[in-house]
Amino acid sequence: MIFNIEYETMPREALEAIQVRRLQATLGRAYASVPFYRKSFEDAGVTPADIKSLDDLRRIPFTTKQDLRDNYPFNMFAVPMSNVVRIHASSGTTGQPTVVGYTLRDVDTWAELMARSLVAGGASNEDIIHNAYGYGLFTGGLGVHYGAEKLGASIIPVSGGNTKRQIVIMKDFGPTILTATPSYTLHLAEVATEMGVSFKDLKFKYGIFGAEPWSESMRTEIENKLDIVAVDIYGLSEVMGPGVAIECHEAKAGLHVFEDHFIPEIIDPETGEPLPYGESGELVFTSITKEAFPVIRYRTRDITSLNPEPCICGRTHVRMDRVSGRTDDMLIIRGVNVFPSQIESVLMQMDEVEPHYQLVVDRADSLDILTVMVEVNERLFSDEVRLLQNLERKISNDIKEYLGISAKVKLVEPKTIARSQGKAVRVIDNRKI
């Protein structure tokens, strides 16, 4: 099934004509209403009128995460606050998340794209959707929620956590579609087993999983354990939220990017030069219908490639490959973006000088476990064990407070954290994904 046959199966030529028209309108609005974009275009010597084709897009400068941070909280908004009906935020540097806004029309567009995604993942208006993505500032929960309502499916807004209750709801309400992060899904499967509940006896048919990196082997594991078909969904709050791209359950081979709303590009992360179809590089997005928070050539830092081959599902939109990595050292832990620099800022508050630390990520019982190793220097040290334990607790609490994730803090001796060529190795990711 396809939710919007006209747009999702539109011939490439017609699709590209729409893209150019929408791109020009977006550039015009961004130039007129967002000082950052006006300056960025002017510095590059281009005006929206210079952009006459999709190829001309490369003349426009990139937008980075740092640009969004510099304009915290609302300076990237292209409409007055009176037209903004929703605000979301993604975790960012301590005390400074990336804030995004939506007009009523943006919320409706998002719901449409999420409805398309749910259908691509196997859902219809007959389904009951168990939505275990977190509700809140994170876009996952509400994104799926509005899409499900748009589709006319029945949504259970269960959000994350309280796993045992979730299993009871699954048994009693009989949901047929599961939406969650893949790691939480495996956790649900384990808790169900402990409770003596078999997923094979539940009514699930399809699952739509995303918000963190996962692999084909995890897909196989989820499909076997839950007795469902599992697809990958992609999105990021800066561009919209979940529903930027979705795998169709027919092919399960790459995620269709909704090109009537976003223009994807792949660039060489070193030179910024666009790369042809099939080549792997950094994914860059330009939104072409968003009103409150247009993004222009936004560098996602995600590494993937684009595939224009026709798909058996009938959709004509290009497919992006599963994200294979990041150009920076961002970690995604239980669906939350974590940069080593954020942990660093928390540690700096303890001790005003840059501490030596290392982040170790493991996956135990299918949940991500973050351990922060901190070298104890003389300013942090105390001869009282109680104070050292308080220090561990305080760092852990601050990380929880600022980043929203639980971390185990472990104090280690100086010079024990491996350094490569004099530079400390900040991240060790032991997850097999």
Partner 1 sequence: MYVEQISVFLENKAGRIADVTSILAKAGVNIRALSLADTSDFGVLRLIVDDHAKAERELKENNFTMGKTFVVAAEVEDKPGGLHKIMDLLGKEGLNVEYMYAFVRPHTNNAVMIFRFDKLDEAVQVLTDNNITIIEGEKLYSL
Considering beta carbons, is residue 312 or 385 the nearer one to partner 1? 385
Cis amide prior to 73 (ω within 30 degrees):
yes
Q: Which of 312, 353, 385, 418 binds partner 1 (CB under 8 A)?
A: 385
Considering beta carbons, is residue 328 or 362 the nearer one to partner 1? 362
Specify the pairing of strand 154-156 against strand 128-131: parallel
Nearest to 243 by CA among 179, 339, 174, 334: 179
Instruction: Tell me the closest approach of the beta carbon of residue 390 to partner 1, in angstroms.
Output: 12
Counting contacts by CB under 8 A, is residue 389 touching partner 1? yes
Residue with tokens 């949504």: 155
Considering beta carbons, is residue 165 or 393 the nearer one to partner 1? 393
Counting contacts by CB under 8 A, is residue 352 touching partner 1? no
Counting contacts by CB under 8 A, is residue 381 touching partner 1? yes
Specify the pairing of strand 128-131 against strand 96-103: unpaired
Considering beta carbons, is residue 328 or 375 the nearer one to partner 1? 375
Instruction: Tell me the closest approach of the beta carbon of residue 405 to partner 1, in angstroms.
Output: 20
Instruction: Tell me the closest approach of the beta carbon of residue 409 to partner 1, in angstroms.
Output: 10
DSSP letter string, 132-179: -SPPSSSHHHHHHHHHHHHHT-EEE---S--HHHHHHHHHHH--SEEE
DSSP letter string, 270-316: TT--B--TT--EEEEEEESS-SSS--SSEEEEEEE-EE-S--TT---
Instruction: Tell me the closest approach of the beta carbon of residue 336 to partner 1, in angstroms.
Output: 25
Counting contacts by CB under 8 A, is residue 47 touching partner 1? no
Counting contacts by CB under 8 A, is residue 388 touching partner 1? yes
SS3 418: coil
Full strand arrangement of the beta sheet holding 427-429: 407-412, 367-375, 357-364, 427-429
Instruction: Tell me the closest approach of the beta carbon of residue 425 to partner 1, in angstroms.
Output: 18
Counting contacts by CB under 8 A, is residue 416 touching partner 1? yes
Considering beta carbons, is residue 275 or 360 the nearer one to partner 1? 360
Instruction: Tell me the closest approach of the beta carbon of residue 90 to partner 1, in angstroms.
Output: 32
Instruction: Tell me the closest approach of the beta carbon of residue 411 to partner 1, in angstroms.
Output: 5
Which residues are at the interface with partner 1 (CB under 8 A)?
376-378, 381-386, 388-389, 410-416
